Amino acid sequence: MDKRYEVARKRQDMLGKVIVFSSAVLLIVLVISLFYFVASKGLSTFIVNKIPLKEFLFSAEWRPDREVPQVGALPFIVGSVLVSIFAILISAPLGVSSAIFMVEISKKMGQKILQPAIEIFVGIPSVVYGWLGLSVLVPFISKHFGGLGFSLLAGILVLAIMTLPTITSVSADTIRSLPVEIREASYALGATRWQTIRHVLIPAAKPGILTAIILGLARAFGEALAVQMVIGNRPVIPKSFLEPMSTITSIITMEMGNTVMGTAWNNALWSLALLLLIISFFFIILIRLVGRRGMYR
């Protein structure tokens, strides 16, 4: 009886180990093969089609359908950077402020209204954001600022709204996790609530807040659909906020259906995908570095 139990237990133990271990191996194999596939496709622009890396990164001429294809990705790189940075410049201050509001100023309202609202925000599919942008924002911009409405500005605003919940919820979690003792210490010295927030809580939560901002930035950089629906998709570097433009993600979704596997055009899109992958790795490393530094224990 005891012996049988012992054997069954060992078998279960073994089974558990096998399942967990093989899942982990599968995951690692998947990541590596994904990276390998994107890299092999993306690098063939430079190896097979002999297009210099310099042209890809620094030329603004995107004519991949020509006899001698020109695949300068600069407009998309600049476009992605502009649209993401400006979106974050709007959503970071708003997000951090709302996080402070819901954690420190009005806990009741934060828990009852803001928190659920943010969860709903996160759950809305990006196509809905895009469609809203397309039917509300684009005509609004066109009417009040001129132009077509399809513009860098529209992209910035849509992304600002989309990254807001990420930044708010991660910042709020960080501020909430700060020990109550340091708040009390500050109040006991005669500090006001605002002084406590500004001089104790925000500095103490800085690594977490930075992580939140980088996460938002990564989301903005990687977002394709909603952006593509409102920015007009012209492969040029925009000269003003009101001009149409393209991003790395939007050009991939726009053109991938039009290309034939193995052509220079198709390969150039894969190169853009590889670039995105590298940038997202970079964001991950950045988050790790920031998160490790000076976390409050």
Burial class of residue 33 (count of CB atoms within 10 Å of its CB; 0-12, 13-18, 19+): exposed
DSSP string, 68-110: S-EE--HHHHHHHHHHHHHHHHHHHHHHHHHHHIIIII-HHHI
Site string for other proteins, 275-294 (x = CB under 8 A): -------------------x
Which residue among 111, 177, 192, 280 contacts other proteins (CB under 8 A)? Answer: 192
Restricted to residues 167-186, the positions that interact with other proteins (CB under 8 A) are: 179, 181-182, 184-186
At closest approach, how far in Å is the CB of 199 from other proteins? 7
At closest approach, how far in Å is the CB of 101 from other proteins? 17
User: Is residue 187 part of the contact set for other proteins (CB under 8 A)?
Assistant: yes
User: Is residue 261 part of the contact set for other proteins (CB under 8 A)?
Assistant: no
Nearest to 161 by CA among 137, 178, 139: 137
User: Is residue 188 part of the contact set for other proteins (CB under 8 A)?
Assistant: yes
Q: Which is nearer to other proteins, 160 or 200 (CB)?
A: 200
User: Is residue 67 part of the contact set for other proteins (CB under 8 A)?
Assistant: no
Residue 222: HSE in the Cβ half-sphere, 13 Å Cα cutoff = 16
Residues 6 or more apart from 162 whose CB is under 8 A from it? 87, 126, 129, 219, 220, 223, 226
Which residue among 47, 203, 284, 293 contacts other proteins (CB under 8 A)? Answer: 203
Using CA atoms, how far apart are residues 193 and 205, in angstroms rounded to an integer?
Answer: 16
Which residue among 22, 23, 106, 195 contacts other proteins (CB under 8 A)? Answer: 195
Which residue type does 117 have?
Answer: A
What DSSP state is assigned to residue 246? -
Of 81-89, 109-117, 189-197, 260-268, the window that binds other proteins (rule: CB under 8 A) is 189-197
Structure tokens at 241: 């906020």
The residue ranges that bind other proteins (CB under 8 A) are 179, 181-182, 184-192, 195, 199-200, 203-204, 294, 296-297
